[in-house]
Structure 1
Amino acid sequence: MNCKSYKIALLLISICIFLQSCVPIPAPQKETNNIISPPVTDNKMVHAKGTRIVDGAGKPIKLKGVLLEGWLMWNGTLWGAGLTSETTITKRLEKMAGKEQTRIFRTHIYDHFIVEKDIEMIARLGLNTVRVPFNHTVLEDENPLDEYTAEGWKYLDRLLTWCERHNIYVVLDFHALPGGQGAFVSDPEFINVWHSPVHQQRTIDIWKAIASRYKDREIIAGYDLINEPDAPAGKNLVDLQKRIINEIRKVDKSHMIILEGGRFSSDFSMYDKPLDANQVYSFHTYNFFTDETDEKNLIKLTEIANKHNVPLWNGEFGAHKSSWIENQLKLYQNPKFPINGWTFWPWKRVSENNDRYRDLAKIIPGQDWQKVARGISNLFGPSKSITPEYAKKAMEGFIEAIKAENIVFDEEIKALIKKHSTQ
């Protein structure tokens, strides 16, 4: 996707955000139930303490890191393939290369997109956190059963071990719920999670399984329950979050719960009180139209955080020029805002090489992949000139390009991230 089409894509996203803020929607319905679980005394995990996040020793800590999107959660914008969901990417690749080659490609992405060397490089930047988006399909196969895939657990288990070695906290981020919870990023299906009791129960069950498996892993900083939820009304979001928390707390009393609000994680008006005694509000910050920072929104978020005595954490920001990125980082350091860290989006991606949308680390694929990526993003599907042999070669080249030893840093953005990681 060239710079022009990328700008068009970002414009469409921004229009959606604008329309969502302008078109009347059902007023968020406030919840009045009590907090689900009391605080744990002597909590050895990273946890909330008032408006601060503290480590297992009770020392204040700021979770500063990067988003590992493009690995266990695919997104066309990170692969040079436009506003395409994981399902669309998969179907288009199957059309070009065949199902078996696409299955092999998926395995290679899972095995090579993030390896221990990536975690080591992140640690060398002075960062202490990775936010790990995952699709429900990582743990569920095509016919969800009570048991989850061993392969899915393998990737998460391995990551936790690497992060323990390099002192990098992990935020597990449910980026694509069964059915999807919002726009293309959440890999939506025809019937999304908000309109399907079955999808909701699958979501709850997955979180309970994760919490049961990892309840003793101190390297996990928190459970990010639903990425960028787009519920019909605030009540729908709060109800599902409560049900998830209730099941998590049956098996895991200690890990921090991370809640995202509506309107692309910028609106928290649906909460009139915390849902848990150990929780954080996580907001996202993007600006595709202007160079204005989100200081006005931070003022509103700070009021909510102080009223509820709950920490704030920036779960995503980026996709802008270097001056805006630095101004945002300075805001997050401002003591008048109780911001307990930030996550730069993303760790690595296929770059647009555009000063308006700067990257930390660039994936540089060959022309073969660029042609395949256009086939993924094209409204009418891939060109018939792309043979299975050509697609296979392009996919193999992409796997090489994503490896840690082959990515190329934007040195200016790298310096900014490193500078602010230790402040």
Structure 2
Amino acid sequence: MPLPWIVVDGDRLADEAGRTILLRGVGLGGWMNMENFITGYPGTESQHRAALLAALGPEGYQRFFDRFLDEFFDDADARFLADLGVNALRVPFSYRHFEDDDRPFELKHEGFRRLDRVVDACARHGIHTILDLHAAPGHQNQNWHSDNPTHHAFFWDHRHFQDRVVHLWEALADHYRDNPAVAGYNPLNEPADPSGEVIGPFYQRLERAVRAVDSRHVLFLDGNRYSTDFSMFDEPFAGAVYTAHDYALPGIARDSRYPGHARGEWFDRDVLEKTFLRRTEFMRRTGTPIWIGEFGPIYTGDRERDEACLRMLTDQLDIYRDHGASWSLWTYKDIGLQGLVHARPDSPYLRRIAPALEQKNRLGTDSWGGTDQHIRHVMGPIEELLDAEVPDFAPYPWGRKAWMSLLVRNILLAEPMVERFRECFEGVPPEEAAELAGSFAFGRCVVRADLADLLRGQLAT
């Protein structure tokens, strides 16, 4: 049976018959937009791909990524999610699957083919998809997940990059305009415009361009400052949902407990709800639907802490249900930090990258889930120097300490670690390269059973 069209009806999402629809599911991080903590490489996706090309050669590189992109998510994954009760999959992708930087505005068919395969697989199992541009040309935010090797989001400085994103979304809207299995379009993940002056006019331009092609699909619009700031919005667009990201500190800080303290702050259910209400104030004030586009804790293997994270996650999901919010848990599949499903610790892939994984974990080169506990002798003096010399320096978006970690850990240390990662693949023949990528196939992975049980219970209500 074809999936129904999803429409905006006041402060709720509904089908065409007027029945309320809550889109509840997961994000497919690490597939058409790769991230270092998800599949284990240091640095950015482009650095990772260059390293594998150098180590594997053109044939091995092609066979690795063909297998990876085919098997990271397929029919078995869609069936598993449907059995849990999931009805929505957010699908992040990089512009690089659709366009090369040296041939701007020349779109590649292969990107559409890969998206189609997952859209169709989900549709067969009753799951809507939300298409999410996670990495834009010029980088719409300052971090690794937009494939940004710097700390500057050039997207907001150059009209050329904005033109290319509008052009890509016009093509995507034309391609999916008659497909109700696609719930809608999430045009930019976690934009971070430091001036706050470009994003509003850009969204207006993008909305006009998409609506000239496709008047039907829902637009899911992230706020500025990594989907936490909605001050650039005035009157909501018709047929739009404004999306907040709702990561809670106890789920991210490794030394936290819940209920309890995280980095000196107290957290319990009341605090989580107040945070949710603050982040969704614009939606509730304007009477538009609420969709939490990302949230979720990391898991460290500390049983007591991980159980506390599940308690926190339960409270968040209860809050979302109480307020009629749709949601997308981050993330579906990885190597064990956050995923609902993860590669086996003894998989060929994880065995091969073990030396690089140990080094980058020790040096804390991942922004997400990493820690500087082993390099405090490096970070401490730099922090003290900046505190003494520029005590009022508070760079966008998260202040001095996060800025320093980005520059030192996630760029200065991470970039040379790519070489160690490359060495892990030296001498691997093409057929073995494909087998390594096969480590991410659903049948070769492990389900995080306690998280799956939690979601199954929540989705049954």
**TM-score in terms of structure 1 length:** 0.82
Q: 1:344 to 1:142 in 2, by over 3 A?
A: same
1:323 paired residue among 311, 318, 322: 311
1:98 paired residue among 42, 45, 57: 57
CA drift of 1:373 comes to 4.9
Distance 2:290 2:93 in 1: 22
Task: Give yes or no for the alignment of 1:64 onto 2:24.
Answer: yes
Q: 1:412 to 1:387 in 2, by over 3 A?
A: closer
Who is 1:237 aligned against? Answer: 199
Distance 2:280 2:106 in 1: 41
Distance 2:179 2:431 in 1: 40
Q: 1:418 to 1:323 in 2, by over 3 A?
A: same
Residue correspondence of structure 1 range 118-197 to structure 2 within 5 A: 118-182=77-141, 183-188=143-148, 192-197=154-159
1:360 paired residue among 340, 348, 355: 340
Task: Give yes or no for the alignment of 1:284 onto 2:272.
Answer: no
Distance 1:313 1:344 in 2: 11
Task: Give yes or no for the alignment of 1:309 onto 2:296.
Answer: no
Who is 2:225 aligned against? Answer: 263
CA drift of 1:374 comes to 6.0
1:420 is paired with a residue whose SS is: helix
Q: 1:385 to 1:62 in 2, by over 3 A?
A: closer
Contact (CA 8 Å) 1:119, 1:162: kept in 2 or not?
Answer: yes
Segments of 5+ residues of structure 2 without an aligned counterpart are 259-266, 299-308, 366-413
CA drift of 1:256 comes to 0.5
Segments of 5+ residues of structure 1 without an aligned counterpart are 1-43, 353-357
Q: 1:189 to 1:245 in 2, by over 3 A?
A: farther
Distance 1:391 1:188 in 2: 30
Task: Give yes or no for the alignment of 1:404 onto 2:442.
Answer: yes
CA drift of 1:205 comes to 0.3
CA drift of 1:144 comes to 2.9
Distance 1:277 1:385 in 2: 52
2:70 is paired with a residue whose SS is: helix
Contact (CA 8 Å) 1:140, 1:149: kept in 2 or not?
Answer: yes
Task: Give yes or no for the alignment of 1:294 onto 2:254.
Answer: no
Contact (CA 8 Å) 2:63, 2:431: kept in 1 or not?
Answer: no
1:349-401 alpha-carbon deviations (Å, 9 max, x no partner): 1014xxxxx54111123311333556886542324864621486874443121
**TM-score in terms of structure 2 length:** 0.75
CA drift of 1:188 comes to 2.2
1:269 is paired with a residue whose SS is: coil
1:218-272 alpha-carbon deviations (Å, 9 max, x no partner): 1111110110001123221111111111110011001101111122212212212
Contact (CA 8 Å) 1:231, 1:237: kept in 2 or not?
Answer: yes
Who is 2:404 aligned against? Answer: none
Distance 1:252 1:259 in 2: 16
Distance 1:196 1:393 in 2: 42
Who is 1:228 aligned against? Answer: 190
Distance 2:221 2:243 in 1: 6
Q: 1:387 to 1:80 in 2, by over 3 A?
A: closer
1:40-73 alpha-carbon deviations (Å, 9 max, x no partner): xxxx731211111112222111000111111111
Question: Quick one: which amino acid aligns to residue 59 of structure 1?
Answer: R
Contact (CA 8 Å) 1:372, 1:391: kept in 2 or not?
Answer: no
Figure out how many residues of one structure are paired with residues of the other and give that number.
370
Contact (CA 8 Å) 1:180, 1:189: kept in 2 or not?
Answer: no
Contact (CA 8 Å) 2:26, 2:329: kept in 1 or not?
Answer: yes
1:370 paired residue among 327, 333, 354: 354
Contact (CA 8 Å) 2:52, 2:425: kept in 1 or not?
Answer: no
CA drift of 1:90 comes to 1.0
Residue correspondence of structure 1 range 68-87 to structure 2 within 5 A: 68-82=28-42, 84-87=43-46
Deviates further, 61-70 or 159-168: 159-168
Who is 1:15 aligned against? Answer: none
Distance 1:385 1:131 in 2: 34
Q: Percent identity?
A: 28
Who is 1:380 aligned against? Answer: 416
Distance 1:145 1:235 in 2: 25
1:288-316 alpha-carbon deviations (Å, 9 max, x no partner): 23543632232224432232121110111
Contact (CA 8 Å) 1:372, 1:394: kept in 2 or not?
Answer: no
- How big is the alpha-carbon RMSD for the aligned residues of Structure 1 and Structure 2? 2.3
CA drift of 1:417 comes to 0.8
